[in-house]
A = this chain, B = another copy of it.
Amino acid sequence: MACKVRLVSVCASLSVDELELLDALAHETVFPARETLFTQGQPAHSVYNITAGVVRLYKLLPDGRRQIVGFALPGDFLGLAMRDAFGFSADAIDTVTACAFSRSAYSALVDEKPHLLRRLHQFATHELTLAQEQMMLLGRRTAEEKLICFLLAMQERWAKLGKPSVTVPLPMSRQDIADFLGLTIETVSRTFTKLAKDKTILIVPDGVRLMNLDHMAHVAA
């Protein structure tokens, strides 16, 4: 299996023979842009490890209001909760490839390999920490702070994946960013233009270049 994210992902805790077991369970799947990986409430037959592309994870209210609870990047694992149904929907923003595992086989393997469970638990608590950060952001920060924190967080995530750069790729739409930050698309757009006028950022195709990291880090506090 030519898994590019092995070192940063759940699999990093496994030995060679354990990886072979995992290989037997995995089957790589490609999702074209805009395709749904799974829907909230749907029985979770599979769990996924993203290997390329970006996925949006979101919840919907009956009237259509949407909250994006996260963006999954390569190395991220979907299905941590190990419950019978997915707690959110997921769809591909660009072309996504993922390792899919049948949940029953996967959870049997987890039962036998405590250090795989340990790794999973580390992932879960890391996610929980991020979720609490996001609560602070959603509940108490201004629009400008929200956007700055988002850009810095995306930069850091790409950096951890071996793409450290002051130019941050943003494959998701403005609407996606709005739904992640609890804002409207218009406010996101205006805030981008304001930051660009400030020379804090430079807007480039499908992304942004961070021009004043000091100021941004200061605002993010």
Contact = CB atoms under 8 A, between A and B. Distances in A.
Given A61-B140, A124-B124, A140-B66, A88 B132 contact: yes
Contacts of A114: 111, 114, 117
Contact of A131 (B131, B140, B221): B131
Interface stretch (A23-31, A76-84, A163-171, A192-200): A76-84
A191 to B, nearest CB: 16
B129 A81 contact: yes
A108 to B, nearest CB: 13
Interface in A105-145: 111, 114, 117-118, 120-122, 124-129, 131-136, 138-141
11 contacts: A59-B132, A59-B136, A61-B136, A69-B136, A81-B128, A114-B114, A117-B121, A120-B121, A124-B125, A131-B132, A140-B182
Number of copies: 2
Interface residues of A, number: 41
A9 interface: no
A67 interface: yes
A99 interface: no
Q: Which 4 A-B pairs have the closest CB atoms?
A: A139-B182, A131-B131, A138-B138, A81-B125
